[in-house]
Amino acid sequence: MYLASGAGGDQSVATLLIEIGAILLALGMLGQLARLLHIPVIPLYLVAGLFFGHGGIIEFSASEDFLNISADIGVILLLVMLGLEYSADELKASLRTQAPMGLLDGLGNALPGAAVALIAGWGALAAVALAGITWVSSSGVIAKMLGDSGRLGNREVPAILGVLVLEDLMMALYLPLLTALLAAGGASTVVITVAVAVGAVAIILVIATRYGRFVTALVSAHDKESLLLGVLGLTLLVAGLADELKVSAAVGAFLVGIALSGTVAETATELLAPLRDVFAAAFFVTFGLSTDPGTLLPMLPLALLLAALTSGTKIGTGYVAARRDGVKRRGRWRAGVALIPRGEFSVIIATLAVAGGVTDKLAPLTACYVLLTIALAGALQKLPDRIPVSPPVSPPRSEPPSPASV
């Protein structure tokens, strides 16, 4: 074996390969299980991570460094793909039409999180972090649930997706803010760090939306291999620079995704998807691995409270958003329930916060909370269809009489 570790490292290389192989194989099987049960795979990855690792059934040691780096890359790939999914025009259109909804969604769902953190006595930083954790719904989980249940054609779906787009866009401001707050030691440096972060985001956002075609031309290539390497390289580079400026690597990646357009974006989406699947899985597992399952149970009551509270506010958000689109009662409730699941962003925020020195109770709390919200949405999603049909706008026509039998 010609790996960099040399002769002395052979044993650890073998252990590393065995551990990573076992983890990936197990995740592959979990994916099949999720498909069979018609549930999103993210909660299964989290649970798998919890079962293993610190305090779990088996401890993985050799692969820990590798998994941690994979998790970082996973976040970056998740975000660049999210950026690639949206065009700058879609973002602008959503911002124009959905801005009031975004405000309602932000206030309604972030404030309960902040309040709970303050009441628990975890301090202002934890309040900012928990606000983000309860604010953002999971576009990954929600798109999956909508697609699997054949509800993409429903009238309330644009309202749901509108809220999600706006949340993702707001994350481009929130994450740098959080990163800056976590990095700033004293109160005096906070203002400067935040100003630098917001300024950097603004500059990248302008480049992304105005001069996206130049960025696209930079990585445009005729063969897929060069394109893949170019896009991946640019993404990691900008993510690294953003991290250096305390803007958060994730946001840098997200903005690169938005800047790319046209066929380059389409091809990049296709090429990066398998990489994203591997590294994002590593991200969710690593979060689970680094969380001691023993710490989950004490956090359960608080997570239940938080889930109940912010599921209620999300239902309210979805209800109002769908009503704005002229959707009737059933559809409004469906939109509300659909928005309940939290996922990737909540985990990203918790990871950032814990790494930044905020109370490490946030990790088990977030793990519990994410799992609860996804489970709750799954359990509730069929209920709105039992609501009696609202009076139709025009009376339903009777079926034409069947032709006389021949």
Residues near 10 by beta carbon (within 8 Å), at least 6 away in sequence = 1
- State yes or no: residue 165 binds other proteins (CB under 8 A): yes
Exposure string (b/e) for 16-41, b if CB count within 10 Å is 16 or more?
A: beebbeebeeebeebeeebeeeebbb
Q: How far apart are alpha carbons 140 and 164 in whole angstroms?
A: 10
Of 65 and 270, nearer to other proteins (C-beta) is 270
Answer yes or no: are the C-beta atoms of 242 and 200 closer than 8 Å.
yes
Q: Which is nearer to other proteins, 223 or 399 (CB)?
A: 399
CB of 313 to other proteins, least distance (A): 23
Interface with other proteins (CB under 8 A), residue from 143, 320, 348, 353: 143
Residues 317-336 that bind other proteins (CB under 8 A): 327-328, 330-331, 334
* Residue 309, number of CB atoms within 10 A of its CB: 16
Comparison of 81 and 242: residue with beta carbon closer to other proteins: 81
Cβ atoms of residues 336 and 142 within 8 Å: no
Of the two residues 251 and 285, which places its CB atom closer to other proteins in the complex? 251
Of 84 and 245, the one with the shorter C-beta distance to other proteins is 84
Query: What's the CA gap between 195 and 207, in Å, rounded?
Result: 18
86 binds other proteins (CB under 8 A): yes
**Inter-residue contact 346 to 150 (CB < 8 Å):** no
274 is an interface residue for other proteins by CB under 8 A: no
By C-beta, is 61 or 390 nearer to other proteins? 390
263 belongs to the binding site for other proteins (CB under 8 A): no
Structure tokens at 14: 């073998």
Query: Structure tokens of 3?
Result: 């790996």
Binding status of residue 255 toward other proteins by CB under 8 A: no
Chain contacts with other proteins (rule: CB under 8 A): 82, 85-86, 90, 93-94, 139, 143, 147, 150-158, 161-162, 164-165, 266, 327-328, 330-331, 334, 385, 389-390, 392-394, 396-397, 400
